[in-house]
Amino acid sequence: MRWILVLTTVAATALSDLLQSYEMKNAGGQSVRPRGLMRLLRMVARRWRLLLAIACMAISFFSFLALVRVEALSFAVPASAASFVLETALARLVLRERIGARRAAGALMVLCGVVLVGG
Amino acid sequence: MSASRSRTALRVFAVLFLFIACKAAGNLSLAWGMKHVPAAGPVSYLRAVFDPFVLSGVFALALAVLMRMVLLSHADLSYVLPVTAIGYVVATFLGKTFLHEAVSGQRWFGTALIFLGAAVAGATLDSKTGGQAE
């Protein structure tokens, strides 16, 4: 059961981040000031990809909620880091980001860490 | 690195710090609240939403989502992912300190590897954050 929850969290997180990154790249630099955050909220309401990203985030959130209910936080949070590897690959394939050997090695180390944490 | 690139990098680090703080506080509050919900089942999950700790956690995590969106508007996803992974180490530390969770040596080692992997990948600056590509 815990791995089904981890898988759901990871898949939903990856899709959400991909959609967010795509839209935010197009939107340009945003601000964390109150006015900037309000403008960001209005932008979220207008763009369907960001709304879909929020929906995926909600799925990820409730899966995570169920996960922390049955597992330790120190397992749940690092285990959800599996999304890191999937997202790095998708950033290369879908968003056409430059990912060199060092960045790929870092992603591999994170994956090893996740396996150790879950073992 | 030019002055404008330095400013961009500083802005990225400031937003990054805010994101990690909101995420860590949110996760801790959420876990604390969820562990004090009496019974399992759909009704208990709905009831949990009104728990003050869960509510605070949700608020902090919602703020973290906005901070992350701002971060993604300044930097590539493949850069944001590793540099935010330090949150996993913070979560393990908070789980051990405040929730008295048992963290084995293997789990600490795994968490350290996640941190190291994040640091290795994070050192590869991307085109948007002002550093040179690998």
Global pTM value: 0.77
Location of structure tokens 């994070």: B122
Please tell me which residue of chain A has the smallest CA distance to B27. Answer: A73
Q: Would you state the structure tokens that stand for residue A52, as one six-digit string?
A: 């879909």
Interface of B with A in 51-80 (CB under 8 A): 61, 65-70, 72-74, 76-78, 80
**Which are the contacts of B3, defined by CB distance < 8 A and separation ≥ 6?**
none
* Domain of A20, in residue numbers: 2-118
Q: Nearest by CB to B18, which of A32, A84, A106?
A: A32
Does the pLDDT at position A49 exceed 90? Answer: yes
pLDDT above 70 covers a percentage of chain B that reads 83
Which of A57-66, B92-101, B118-127 reaches the highest mean pLDDT? A57-66
Instruction: Note every long-range contact of B108-111, with CB atoms under 8 Å and residues 24 or more positions apart, other chains counting.
Output: B109/A116, B110/A78, B110/A112, B110/A113, B110/A114, B110/A115, B110/A116, B110/A117, B110/A118, B110/A119, B111/A74, B111/A78, B111/A113, B111/A117
Residue count (chain A): 119
Q: Could you report the predicted ipTM of this complex, rounded to two decimals?
A: 0.76
The answer, for B34 touching chain A at a CB cutoff of 8 Å, is yes
Residue A119, pLDDT score? 59
For residue B112, pLDDT beyond 90:
no
pLDDT at position A29, please? 80
Q: Count of H helices and E strands in chain A?
A: 6, 0
Domain ranges of chain B: 3-122
Is the pLDDT at B130 greater than 50, yes or no?
A: no
pLDDT tens across B21-72, in order? 999 999 889 888 887 776 666 677 677 778 888 899 989 988 998 999 998 8
Spell out the alpha helix ranges (H) of B36-76.
42-48, 52-74
- Tell me what pLDDT residue A39 has: 87
Could you tell me what percent of chain A has a pLDDT over 70? 98
Distance from CA of B61 to the nearest CA of A (A): 10
Contacts of A97 (CB under 8 A, 6+ apart): A91, B76, B77, B78, B126
Q: How many domains does chain A have?
A: 1
Taking CA atoms, what residue in B is nearest to A28?
A: B73
Residue B106 — φ and ψ, nearest 5°? -60, -40
